[in-house]
Amino acid sequence: MTAPTLFHPSREWSDRVAVLSSGASRTYGELEAGSRLRARHLLAAATACDLEGARVGFLMEPGFEYVVTQWAIWRAGGIAVPLCPDHPDRELRYVIDDADCSALIGAGMTGRRIEDAARERGIPFHEVSDPKRGFPAAGPVPPDPAPLPWIGPERAAMILYTSGTTGRPKGVVTAHGQIEAHIRSLLDAWEWERDDRILHVLPLHHTHGIVNALCCPLYAGAAVEFAGSFEAAATWDRLASGEISVFMAVPTIYAKLLRAWEAAAGSTRRRWSRGAGALRLMVSGSAALPVRVFEHWEEITGHRLLERYGMTEIGMGLSNPYEGERRPGTVGQPLPDVGVRLVRPSTGRVLAEGVEAFAPGASGEIRIRGPMVFSEYWRRPEETTAAFVDGWFLTGDEAVLEDGYYRLLGRRSVDILKSGGYKISAVEVEELLRTHPAVRDCAVVGIPDEDWGERVAAAVILKARVAPEAGLAPGVAVSSAALSPPWGAEPDSAAVASVLDPWVRKRLARYKVPRAWRLVEDLPRNAMGKVRKPAVRALFNVRARPS
Ligand code: MCA
Ligand code: AMP
């Protein structure tokens, strides 16, 4: 059998189903032919024989066209920059500009949202569904088809945006060889098989949805069934269909599935439980899986969820075993080919390495090394350098090695939150809020939430006198009428929420929008004037935890 690579499926799989979406199933042969054709169109449009690392942004709903486009960009020598359909224009344009995209591809109504951005930037917009624009989903090969370029493992493949401790998200660049190393490690650890079919419910602008749940099965010759977006009852029905063998999700999704199960009738519950119980593998990751969710899931399906730990920069690092004990509340052991260490940052002392503890019970920062670790933060050389010590990537996560299993204790920074599996920078939300004409200062924190892990919360100080017109760009939907009455003579937290919530929603991805607001006269600060985040958390009736 010919060995597959990231976007060259084995020839023996041509007639096997690769992708099921929108009620249609498409084979590996169709995926291969479609992506070759689209790669040629991309090259023809760029009058090039190799895109040589040009960034191509693409926006479309999860489905066959997404995969064809991703592979086409890779085949043409470009760097794939997936854009998120849920993001407001401001976020989409930030990514397009930061990645310095030289072409954009869109499909359907969703994709057309970036047409204006392309026009304004003088770069081509290729619409997948419109043959008149010379970019058909299928159709004649452009004349004189030059051979597609050979893409070596060192070539950059993808830029994904991840939130950091400093303001706007950073682009994480991974090379083809790094993505392949990530995939091979998981294929080995989780025993992916050609006969697997995964139900895919995750967003396609993050590693979890892209590499773990899409690239891995396609590398193995398995099938990917796109659900569209996550909906609890529909997900249960598909899990119970007898056609799905693998499922991967963030803890919030498992929590939502449990709630839907509890709300269902007895006969439905039995059907769902029996069906889901027959799956080969169910994985949880991207945020801590509460032990109560692990246990409840086992009770109703018989499955001990396999929890693992990863990060955009490193791919996957640690995992509970496929065979052997899956220990709740832990993220298991190093995955194949991944070097894992626990280090005390203040001294550099190595506390543990692999599954060996040198200082049993001591907690430290997780540091990772291996062929799957990213190349660089896009055009941020200083941040890239600062992210490594002696070739080890500094994850910023604290953990302890207990009886051979790693247990995560939390993030070292209070300014990184996780909500529903999405990483959020408190600093980014604060910086935006401070640009509102009525806001003097603010502090954003994460408050614990049973289903979401954390929710974003903002404490806000208003300017003494609000000049409603000041600083508002034309067309912004916050009218002076909306500003004046709620603030009134005596504004309160609810009034602040009613004005700032819609204002933030227009500008930030919805998962970054604060869900709790407090109007305050001042923010708790230390002697140096630095805001004390644990004390801010206490404003939301959350017991302070150390920062
Ligand atoms: C939706 N809402 C959220 C979030 N998602 N609020 C906070 N955090 C969120 N993550 C809000 C919506 O704005 C809405 O509020 C309300 O919740 C319900 O929205 P709905 O669309 O119905 O929610 P949903 O479709 O059920 O979405 C929940 C979700 C989604 C399916 C859990 O958040 C999701 O797909 N999360 C996965 C993220 C992910 O893949 N992360 C991987 C990155 P309102 O009505 O007020 O607007 S981490 C990674 O890749 C590393 C490498 C790793 O280790 O995996
Ligand atoms: P991201 O930057 O979106 O790739 O998110 C990576 C971060 O998610 C990690 O640094 C961890 O803080 C968190 N994370 C991933 N998996 C887990 C897990 N199983 N348990 C706790 N946190 C996790």
Write the residue with the smallest CA distance to atom 24 of ligand 1: 230
Digit-coded pLDDT (tens) for 291-317: 999 999 999 999 999 999 999 999 999
Digit-coded pLDDT (tens) for 26-77: 999 999 999 998 998 899 889 899 999 999 999 999 999 999 999 999 999 9
Sign of CA dihedral 467, 469, 473, 478: positive
| The two structure tokens encoding residue 105 | 């591809």
> 422 near 515, Cβ under 8 Å?
no
Ligand 1 and 452: CB distance under 6 A:
yes
Ligand 2 and 447: CB distance under 6 A:
no
**The pLDDT of residue 146 is above 90:** no
Sheet strand arrangement including 79-82: 125-127, 103-106, 55-59, 79-82, 156-162, 170-175, 376-377
| The two structure tokens encoding residue 110 | 């969703």
> 99 near 171, Cβ under 8 Å?
yes
Write the residue with the smallest CA distance to atom 15 of ligand 1: 510
Residues 6+ apart with CB under 8 A from 391: 369
Write the residue with the smallest CA distance to atom 34 of ligand 1: 420
Ligand 2 and 283: CB distance under 6 A:
no
Nearest atom (ligand 2) to Cα of 285: 19
Among all bound ligands, the one having the nearest atom to the CA of 393 is 2
Q: Tell me which residue of 163, 134, 135 sits closest to 60, measured CA to CA.
A: 135
Q: What distance in angstroms lies between residue 285's CA and the mean position of ligand 2's atoms?
A: 7
Q: What distance in angstroms lies between residue 328's CA and the mean position of ligand 2's atoms?
A: 16
Q: What distance in angstroms lies between residue 229's CA and the mean position of ligand 1's atoms?
A: 10
Write the residue with the smallest CA distance to atom 1 of ligand 1: 511
Ligand 1 and 285: CB distance under 6 A:
yes
Residues 6+ apart with CB under 8 A from 49: 43, 146, 149
Q: What is the mean pLDDT of residues 225-243?
A: 96
Q: What is the pLDDT of residue 472?
A: 35
Ligand 2 and 411: CB distance under 6 A:
yes
What angle do helix axes 266-277 and 251-263 make, rounded to 10 degrees? Answer: 140
Write the residue with the smallest CA distance to atom 4 of ligand 1: 511
Residues 6+ apart with CB under 8 A from 280: 193, 196, 245, 246
Q: What is the mean pLDDT of residues 454-474?
A: 69
Ligand 1 and 125: CB distance under 6 A:
no
Q: Tell me which residue of 208, 183, 219 sits closest to 337, measured CA to CA.
A: 183
Q: Tell me which residue of 341, 334, 387, 335 sits closest to 173, measured CA to CA.
A: 387
Ligand 1 and 204: CB distance under 6 A:
no
Q: How sure is the predictor about 135, in pLDDT bands with cuts at 50, 70 and 90?
A: low
Q: Give the least confident one: 157-161, 165-169, 459-463.
A: 165-169
Digit-coded pLDDT (tens) for 346-371: 999 999 999 999 999 999 999 999 99
Rg (CA), the chain: 24
Q: Give the least confident one: 2-6, 55-59, 81-85, 143-147.
A: 143-147
Residues 6+ apart with CB under 8 A from 454: 417, 418, 419, 446, 447, 448
Sign of CA dihedral 511, 516, 520, 524: negative
Q: Tell me which residue of 503, 519, 518, 516 sits closest to 463, measured CA to CA.
A: 519
Mean pLDDT of the chain: 92
Ligand 1 and 419: CB distance under 6 A:
yes
Percentage of the residues of the chain whose pLDDT score is greater than 70: 90
Q: What is the pLDDT of residue 219?
A: 97
Q: How sure is the predictor about 469, in pLDDT bands with cuts at 50, 70 and 90?
A: very low
Write the residue with the smallest CA distance to atom 5 of ligand 1: 511
Ligand 1 and 206: CB distance under 6 A:
yes
Q: What is the mean pLDDT of residues 410-416?
A: 91
| The two structure tokens encoding residue 16 | 């096997």
Ligand 2 and 320: CB distance under 6 A:
no
Among all bound ligands, the one having the nearest atom to the CA of 330 is 2
Best of 230, 316, 424, 452 for a ligand 1 pocket test (most atoms within 8 Å of beta carbon): 230
Q: What distance in angstroms lies between residue 510's CA and the mean position of ligand 1's atoms?
A: 8
Write the residue with the smallest CA distance to atom 10 of ligand 2: 311
Q: Name the one residue in this structure whose structure tokens are 């991805």.
A: 509
SS3 breakdown of the chain: % helix, strand, coil, rounded to 5? Answer: 30, 25, 40
Write the residue with the smallest CA distance to atom 6 of ligand 2: 311
**The pLDDT of residue 144 is above 60:** no
Q: What is the pLDDT of residue 470?
A: 42
Q: What distance in angstroms lies between residue 178's CA and the mean position of ligand 1's atoms?
A: 27
Q: What is the mean pLDDT of residues 3-18?
A: 88
